[in-house]
A and B are shown apart, each in its own frame.
Chain A
Amino acid sequence: MNDSINLVSPKNEQLEKEQNRLRVARLLAFVIMAFVVAIAILVFVVNLTLPINSIKQNEQTTLTNISVLHKKLTQYYLVEDRANHLTNIIAQRKNIPDIADDLLAVVPQDLDISSMQIDATKVSLIVSGASLLSMNKLIDDVIMLQEQKNIINNIVMQQLSLDVKSDRYSVSIQADIK
């Protein structure tokens, strides 16, 4: 028998190939369809399970609870508002009484304050007494106020005078407020 005789006709081979292609096409179509259906269902279900409604319901419940406390809430906001404004005012206001306190503290006992004027920018102090040593100490201490407490600067001794009738000295000091 001749082995070279091909019993399978070329037509059958072609048909087999066609069948294979068809099987592959069907399988591919099924896989794609199944995949798409699975994904669509999955995404649909996941979308359904997102808890938006329950969150909104909880929000509504909490809002209802808060609305019962509305008066308290308003008071709380007002407390916050007052506290903020008071903090600002306290931070902004000038400490003139403190400056006056510091100046009084450096005036020696044997000197009298004839005049003290303090405003937002300037301090003016006129002190009288019989002792020049005390006046000298006053001037030194006022200079120390500038250096240590840093509340005044540009200190100027405007006048040092003697009233011969009363035998008293008078010194006038001026400074800028920092």
Chain B
Amino acid sequence: MGKITVFTAKRIHTMTDAAPYASAVAVRDGLIVEAGTLDTLRPWLEVHNHTIDTRFADKIIMPGFIDPHLHPFIGAILLPTNFITAFEWNLPNKHIPATRGHDEYLAELARQFAADDNSKPLFVSWGYHQIWHGEVTRAQLNDISTTRPVLVWHRSFHEFILNDAAIDTLGIDRGMMARHPQINAETGRFSETGAMATIAALKPILFAPDWFGEGLERLHEVLHHGGLTTVADMAWGIFDYEMEWAAYAGTMAQNAPPYRCMMIPRGLPDPELTGSADEAFGRVEALANRGTERLFFDRHVKFFADGAVFSELAQFDAPGFIDGHHGEWMTAPEQFEEIIRPYWRAGYRIHVHCSGTLGHELALDVLDKMQSEHPRFDHRFSIEHFGFSTEEQVHRIKALGAVVSANPFYVHELSDAYWKHSVGFERASQMVRLGALARADVPFALHSDYTMAPAQPLMLAWVAVNRLSENGEVMCENERISVHDAMKAITINAAYVLGQEGSLGSIRAGKKADFTVLGEDPYEVDPMHLKDIRVHATVFEGVVHDIDR
């Protein structure tokens, strides 16, 4: 048995209701022995070897932050790119300031291009958005270089702009470009189905070990800097189950980053349900029969209802989108029900990606049906993302015993644009109605869906508490939540959504000794300052991991 270490702090927020505050916490062998004060800990310290570690004496200790929904592999692909974004991003050792305006964008692109070490076959920049950066064209990218491939990747992932060198390097057929309805050969812009042509050509580069491996290593740093000690890969197999497993297990073993990742497989292993649902279930269950210390499974599964919020493919009932376009189903509604059934009956905890009101309705209708066919307690059917819902749906969520894992960042990044260009003020301002969940006492967590939002729980909490649009306007004050609810949503309730609350998410005897150490107290600062609180260090299973800035 190891030695006891006692960490003292200015304040420890245990996130338990029974004893919310402490000033010292004892840990041994990666587990919490007890939280309290040096005085209350005395019975342990009198009989066991121990050290008192006072390095956090002027800091705030929280339970290790948990992000219950992100995509490590999307992050790994994106992180080696050059970020130029309309919103600020904090990357490890690198603050990305907001870049807004057409000339400013091109100047920043030219600056980053000049600073590039040319180690990659293409210069790729991510984060472009026409609302902020105006129309960027092939000719403008040719001005940056006629010889080195330059590729601009849209914030939404659904568009690319290429210079001629990039078109040639990727071997994209110019005759095809001229004919394609969603490629503008003149401006070099590839959108939606046209973007798929670029992705197909890019894949060998993005999935090469030097790109991808570097991306995963950067991801470890990103998560550490965000103060995270547990995350969930909420769709293992989004590209390829085995390829992802080999790469992730490899880097976790080699780099031993200070976090663990819960692996939640996508439950429909093919684009459509082929064959019987039982067969598909059996196949996924067999695939998920593995795990390591840092990558673990726990009979959770992920499904997709409607298209993404960012790509405006959410499914709405009337009145829909202002421009009259329609969203998409990612899974055929009747197949969605069919494939969920074997998992529900086997006792799995089910997570469903829901974006629009109709997407939520489908998930809740199917849950309702499952409950009447085969009732379950404590099933924690989880609505993931929670983009556009109604108050009535919140009551159904409560009545059916579901929980929510929400991405609040939509409110900050999209609500203004969606108000003016997509769905109008009422629905845009009420996106991600966390206040209603709090009023109905539905347990909810906050997630980043990284890279859909920064993997910084305090940033997510800041959005949820303040609901400021990009222009600084409060979007629906009644859907704001308290600081306490926000802190629960990135700790104990995030653990609850993942079914890991028995060992994670709060500071009490017997749980994993995972802490996030902050420079200021989230409960004391002006709520507008939440996102700027410095994450000083994390403690992962009892071991301190400092964060250098």
Whether A and B are associated in the same complex: the answer reads no
Which B residues form the contact surface with A (CB < 8 A)?
none
